[in-house]
Structure 1
Amino acid sequence: AWKKIYEKSVQKNRKPSLLLALITAFWPEYTILGIIMVLMNVCSLLQPLMLGKLLKYFRVDSDIQKEDAYIYAGAIVICIFAATILNNQYIMGAFHYGMKVRAASCALIYRKALRLSKTALGETASGKIVNLLSNDVSRFDLVSIFIHHMWTSPILTLIVTYFIYVEAGWPGLLGIVAVFIVVPIQGYFGKLSAIYRKATAMKTDERVRLMDEILSGIQVIKMYAWEKPFALLIKKARKAELKIITKSSYVRGMYMAFNLFTTRVALFSTLLTVALMDKPITASTVFVLMSYLNLVSQTMSQMFVRGISEIAELIVAIKRLEEFMLNDEYETMSSSFTVDHTSQTKNPLRLKDLTVKWNARLSDNALENISFAVNRGMLLGIIGPVGSGKSSLLQTILGELELVSGGMELNGSVSYASQEPWVFAATVRQNILFGAPYDKKKYADVVRACALEKDFEQFSNGDLTIVGDRGASLSGGQKARINLARAIYREADIYLLDDPLSAVDIHVSKHLYDLCINGYLCNKTRILVTHQVHHLKDADHIIILNNVSMKIQ
């Protein structure tokens, strides 16, 4: 639904609405909830009517027959039973459908996070995504309960007002006025609650981002004994968050206080007016008025106003989700970018006058006027000083950068070993296979080529040893070689190797170059970024980059 609405909005040059997408996807479920709510309100309206009739039977001058009294009593029991069952079904259905909306929103966020462009990924903190998945989407659960009260409560109040007028005349309307005086006050508290909710979300984002950064660099913090300064930073962030949460709690406390005394004030006002007008106060009148005022108080000053508060908070959450969903996405192809994974006759890679940017909004280019072609089975070495654009060139081949001018032709599949080794919390073998089928001979060849055999002997369970979070139990060289092994285990036509030799010593570096890059991959197209120039004496072609452009090739 979001994809269709997004495409239509782009065509009509307007901002897409996530709320409209949710309504389009889930309106049948919420229509069923609306029908249940109407039936439940009918049962609630019938109860005071039947109660009034039953109580009139016990008056001295009553003309109601005993059989009719039994019918009224039975009707009260049936109405209470039906209302209870319907209320149970409504709440269960609301939570069920709310959970479906929440799960759908989480899936939408997850898929969007996988498609974010490099620019959007850099601007979006991981803490914000965590907050969206944990706090913001949880609003759908409660709103599912209150959403139908927003239209049934005013209608129900009008009907109840008529019945109260019939029962008690003008004094009955005074009780309704008392309830309605409280409603705008409750509405104001709801508005305040939404403001504090937005402020809390921002403070929580900031705290989660700070904690994420601290946990990422915890080893450095411990090594330099910086625990106290960083603990103080966390304390300040948490204190700022708690300050907003405390204000929000005071608002909710006032809201709950009004809930408790609204019905009592309304009933007192009505009965006092009846007494002052010298009208008789009967048991049937008191109980019927109390039932009706309870109904109005529950629907208007509790459900309706709480609904306003929750919907206001949901709108804030939806805007945050919508803002995230409108981030730039990774574009796999453009008019000057050709990919053919099946061709075996063309050059695997050809670049012509290529100029790219990391961020389309910035004036600086990541690479300028890059032109070269790579033949099949060729080893291309890329060298240059730090910041010259070597890694940017590999990112360009992967299609991660914004194309400004020129063209690129890529023929064949690509496997990539990043400069920053990445491992996940699983076994070493799972890190290397990365979901690919296990081939014993191929796996053994890859392990040998990447000089991991001795490391496996040192591990307690060999290659079945569990890697800690972010490879905490591995050395830098081990992570680099596992990262390289994952890339070369994957069957591909072109291998992009971003400085895999920098994290290992000179002997292992020679082993990797001779047995892996020039051995195991000798018949494959290889693009090697390195600072160890002495290895490139066997390279078929060398490109020297300087200041984001080609100096010599």
Structure 2
Amino acid sequence: MTSKSSPLAHAGCLSRLFLCWLSPLLQLGKKQRLEESDMYNVLEEDRSETLGKELQSFWDREVRKSKKQLSEPSLTKVLFQCYGASYAKAGLFAFSLEAIKVIQPLLLGKIILFFENYDPNDDQSLWLACTYAAAISLSTFGLTFLQHLYYYNSQRIGMKMRVAVCHMIFKKALQLSTESVGRTTTGQIVNLLSNDVNRFDEITLNLHYLWIGPLQAAVILALLWYEIGLSCLAGVTIVALMLPLQTWFGKLFGLFRSKSVIFTDNRIRIMNEVVSGIRIIKMYAWEKPFSALLTGVRKKEIHQIMKSSYLRGLNMASFFASSKIIVFFTFTVYALLGNAITASSVFVTVSLYGTIKLTVTLFFPLAVEKVSETRVSIFRIRNYLLLDEVERNDVVLALEDKEIPVELHDMSLDAPSLQSVSITVKPQQLLAVIGPVGAGKDADIYLLDDPLSAVDAEVGKFLFDQGSQIYNLMPSSVTHQLQYLKGADHIIVLNGDLGHIVAQGTYQGLTGSGFDMVSLLNSDEELWPRTVEELQTNLLQELEPQTRLEPTNTNPTAHRSCSKTAAYILQDWWLVYW
């Protein structure tokens, strides 16, 4: 993460409207290639944690409300409650943008009409023409200005929705119960995070045209009626005939999307299983059968994607062909009705039809298509969020009680076998529990179960040093990494067979009382013996403290304990050596 704060956080109204806060970054990009360190920090309001908690609160409220009303919770309703107000403001930019597109053809018609009826002595008409030209210039600037604002705000809202939903999905994955884990797959979760959430970025760009499109079409129809009269109905009829076709296309897009995601989930699930079991597959030479299985699933997925692609091609073809067909039929009817075709009427009509064509045959159908696909994604995400979670009994100590120690008295368990274990853990104290495998270290009396075993010595030392700064949480560490015992405030040594505490105290206290802790510790550079002679020497050193602590114990159980300890040491040395 960079340390550069975003200038958007302190940008004024004009800077936000004209996007001036981006100028320093653009100037830097002009001089040199941008690096990661040149990027600004994410605003606090755009962070995943902030967005996720906000949407989660709305979702939890909706779930509780639906339980009371015995109904299904609606994720769509939650999204509108959380982002509806800000998205409505972005709709004002879209409305102003389309309003300018309607006004521009009228201004163009007035200018052309001035040249058709040009009079050198008519100064008033000249000033009006200049005013219309200035208005067209300003409206063109306004189009660019409003379009950037609309796309910026819409995409930012879509980004917030996507990030917030990803936060909820990831959080849900950490809380799924055992039954819920069996009802979902890793492939489905990956598909939700990689494909389904992307629909929010797409739907926010087109959703407003579901109401802007019909409204703009009604206004343009009135203007066309005023401009060319009854002839406009010919073109409007073709546009009206295309609307149900585009709506049908949108429903088909949703249908194909719902089918393709099933094959995608199945393919990802199978691929994850293949990668996980690739050694077994290679061992038994099952490459070809599994390759054929994946190829078959992929073909089914591609078949659904190809259907969507063909349908999208027909949709785009109808868009490009519609404008020519509409103009042809309109002016054919206009000429047959005995009207004279003029430049002003042609330019105004073609411009108005061009505007309605973009809205009604492109943006409106695209909005219908994205709504259909987004509904499928929202339905899948909602079903995932409704999966059962594990019941958590979190115990949180109040800040005023942080000085109270945690005490366990005479605790006994069957498996692992702990017998009469009593410990006391004070705040800001690091407790280390050591002992052979099977001694009962993995009971629910610790917070950290050998977290250093999966990393190398250097990383482990860093984690131990940094982790020591969280003592207010009363950390306890169960570990085989004996080199860290010197840093522990209290050490507990468990016996493997008897299941009770052999010795406990500080490192200095145990070594001073005769308990040979030196033999249990190795240097950071040499954690394991490399030769049989070193192994024998260290083995005798590790067995010697038990002999000194229990000199009268000569029963067979003690010998079995020594044999087990020797076996474990040999096994660990063999695995590490190879």
TM range (shorter): 0.5 to 0.7
- Secondary structure in structure 1 of the residue aligned to 2:70: coil
- The partner residue of 1:450 within 467, 477, 480 is 480
Offset at 1:287? 1.0
- Corresponding residue number in structure 2 for 1:477: none
Offset at 1:108? 1.1
Cα distance in structure 1, aligned partners of 2:258 and 2:98: 34
CA-based RMSD: 4.5
- Residue 437 (1) aligns with residue 437 (2): no
Offset at 1:161? 0.7
Opposite residue 131 of structure 1, the aligned amino acid is N
Offset at 1:123? 2.5
- The partner residue of 2:290 within 230, 249, 271 is 230
CA contact (8 A) 1:5 1:17 kept: yes
Cα distance in structure 1, aligned partners of 2:180 and 2:488: 31
- Corresponding residue number in structure 1 for 2:192: 132
- Residue 376 (1) aligns with residue 422 (2): yes
Query: Per-residue CA shift, 1:222-256, capped at 9, x if unaligned?
Result: 22222222111111111111111111111111111
- The partner residue of 2:134 within 62, 74, 80 is 74
- Corresponding residue number in structure 1 for 2:377: 317
- Secondary structure in structure 2 of the residue aligned to 1:250: helix
Q: How does 1:199-348 map to 2 (within 5 A)?
A: 199-333=259-393, 344-347=406-409
Offset at 1:2? 1.8
- Secondary structure in structure 2 of the residue aligned to 1:376: strand
- Secondary structure in structure 1 of the residue aligned to 2:422: coil
- The partner residue of 1:39 within 90, 96, 105 is 96
- Corresponding residue number in structure 2 for 1:102: 162
- Residue 17 (1) aligns with residue 74 (2): yes
- Corresponding residue number in structure 1 for 2:211: 151
- Secondary structure in structure 2 of the residue aligned to 1:100: helix
- Corresponding residue number in structure 2 for 1:58: 115
Select the structure that is richer in strand.
1
Opposite residue 290 of structure 2, the aligned amino acid is F
Offset at 1:534? 5.3
Query: Per-residue CA shift, 1:5-55, capped at 9, x if unaligned?
Result: 223333433322221221122123212211111111221111011111111
CA contact (8 A) 1:436 1:490 kept: no
Cα distance in structure 2, aligned partners of 1:180 and 1:422: 70
Opposite residue 92 of structure 2, the aligned amino acid is I
Offset at 1:430? 4.2
Structure 1: unaligned runs, 5 residues or longer: 353-366, 384-389, 399-411, 441-445, 454-484, 498-506, 523-532, 540-553
Offset at 1:171? 0.9
Q: Residues 303 and 225 from structure 1, CA distance in 2 versus in 1: closer, same or farther, beyond 3 angstroms?
A: same
Cα distance in structure 2, aligned partners of 1:380 and 1:427: 21
Offset at 1:210? 0.7
Opposite residue 114 of structure 2, the aligned amino acid is Y
Deviates most, 88-97 or 53-62: 53-62
Higher relative contact order (CA 8 A, sep 6+): 1
Cα distance in structure 1, aligned partners of 2:466 and 2:151: 47
CA contact (8 A) 2:434 2:493 kept: no
Select the structure that is richer in helix.
2
Q: Residues 449 and 110 from structure 1, CA distance in 2 versus in 1: closer, same or farther, beyond 3 angstroms?
A: closer
- Corresponding residue number in structure 2 for 1:169: 229
- Corresponding residue number in structure 2 for 1:4: 61
CA contact (8 A) 1:176 1:293 kept: no
Cα distance in structure 1, aligned partners of 2:375 and 2:478: 57
CA contact (8 A) 1:127 1:212 kept: yes
Opposite residue 196 of structure 2, the aligned amino acid is D
User: How many correspondences in the alignment?
Assistant: 434
Opposite residue 376 of structure 1, the aligned amino acid is S
- The partner residue of 1:185 within 229, 241, 245 is 245
- Secondary structure in structure 1 of the residue aligned to 2:195: helix
Given the two structures, how large is their TM-score scaled by the length of structure 1?
A: 0.68
Cα distance in structure 2, aligned partners of 1:490 and 1:264: 84
Query: Per-residue CA shift, 1:288-321, capped at 9, x if unaligned?
Result: 1111111111111111111000011001001111
Cα distance in structure 1, aligned partners of 2:312 and 2:493: 61
- Secondary structure in structure 2 of the residue aligned to 1:225: coil
Structure 2: unaligned runs, 5 residues or longer: 1-57, 396-400, 424-432, 470-475, 497-533, 550-558, 566-578
Cα distance in structure 2, aligned partners of 1:164 and 1:311: 30
Offset at 1:160? 0.8
Offset at 1:328? 0.8
Given the two structures, how large is their TM-score scaled by the length of structure 2?
A: 0.65
Opposite residue 76 of structure 2, the aligned amino acid is L
Offset at 1:217? 1.1
- Secondary structure in structure 2 of the residue aligned to 1:58: helix
- Corresponding residue number in structure 2 for 1:527: none
Bigger Rg over Cα: 2
Opposite residue 157 of structure 1, the aligned amino acid is A
What percent identity do the matched residue pairs reach? Answer: 30
Cα distance in structure 1, aligned partners of 2:259 and 2:453: 35
- Secondary structure in structure 1 of the residue aligned to 2:174: helix
Q: Residues 343 and 13 from structure 1, CA distance in 2 versus in 1: closer, same or farther, beyond 3 angstroms?
A: farther
Query: Per-residue CA shift, 1:506-535, capped at 9, x if unaligned?
Result: x99xx99x979x99xx9xxxxxxxxxx955
Cα distance in structure 1, aligned partners of 2:110 and 2:360: 26
